[in-house]
Structure 1
């Protein structure tokens, strides 16, 4: 019996482990916003702690007081304000060359004078470029026109090429016009800061033609970790499933053993029938004892008395009187 029980239990648990391994080998679930998984090391990166949000009305948090992340521009002539995977905390009121309804989606900007220049709209999908974790913002303010940039001339003997508007095969013409419609974008390269006491920092690296801005961020959250598998059941649920499987194996295996080996029928097919029957009788006896002992505390009927009627009641009354008279006579004789 014991051998059958344990062998069946081991079989079911091994089957459960195999199914769990098979399910984990399938395609993993889609990632949550602001998270990434390295294709080379399979480490999990969660940048949500770097995202700063505004406090509720009437409540100022430390993040609200500090605002978004800041980076000094040094020789660029302006400082930058950046947030990770979301819009900046600061309220923008004068963003150049960007629709007003998009101001609330700006994730990086700089300010010159009383004007603000967006260098990217929010994006919550970090990606990997090889082993580099990168966050890219696009769709900011318009880049400066090509006419305003310093044009690099070739040899003096070669005049600039003339662009003909009605030439449909001239791709350079279309690229030239499309260049005037480009918008500012931001690339943030995130590096691991292994020092646990170090804080997250963002540094400005370079700007290409006042159109593409490169930043470097260092943070402990960019070091990655082992992804914790989300379980549908908690520890209590898993334990309950194991107990349920064990009970089923005990009942089914025991019934099969009692029926085939011991040739039992009826309720006696249950494993350890005598033990369970004695437990059942004990519970019934305890119930009877408790209910009978509690019956004494039940209130009795009051305000009613038994009334003796009929010939039988009269005979009983006379008999009681004779008995009382006899007792009195015996008492008097004893006294004498």
Structure 2
């Protein structure tokens, strides 16, 4: 039985003796049917969450478990399916707890910023520091950013957290050599605020940091927000007109990298670390890195390679003409105290 339960949500009830084999076969059939070309040329992508009933469960309980599996499928990427298990329940409980605790992280002084250097690929002179957020939970210890940032985005807290990052990063940058830039990451969700550009401008003016020292990094997902795409591009243009530099982060991992370059003039492009890590033994990765550096030469943006950890990687990137590098070889993310020592040593 199939029922539509929302604008783009459907529920399927399957009665079968052999589980999970029957469910897995049904999932395969659904994905196969969805991938078949339509007369209109429309591509259908979906996420599927599955719960297999146990004795004594109610329909509402089964629906709730399927929802948990669906949440995990969406988090893992489109066109995926997940079947509920006990681990998912534990993950959801942890997510709910972290979401609740995030609300008090700022007032409890649990956040801190660390800064990772970005250097000229040839001279290794430091040209910028990227501000990175860290969260030390009072009972769970260090929570990785790739765990708590998506929770902050889904819970609506990313706006408040993003404002804290901008203010504290600019306060730190106000003490640096004016020749050194500050790079700050912007979440795609932050672009829903019509006052984002004004907020960044006001914070920079408050801390007397020249706007041309600001480097604002956005992922490709930020430029792929559907009906909000025009608003995102308009905000980026406003920021760039004010003197800030705009960077496309993790280039090559999205779905329309080249179309983004056609529609907006980025000042920098960051090559994703996954390509840098494998370029020495993976011809495809090497081709992508070389092609991206070539784009920089022809289109104008500065090319930054992330995740540079070895002298061999640095040597290869220099040979290919990469402009700037970032990674543990150049310097690990450090707090303000260690940053002062790092600058003195370099």
TM-score range, shorter chain: under 0.3
For the pair shown, the structure with the greater C-alpha radius of gyration is: 1
The normalised TM-score by structure 1 is 0.23
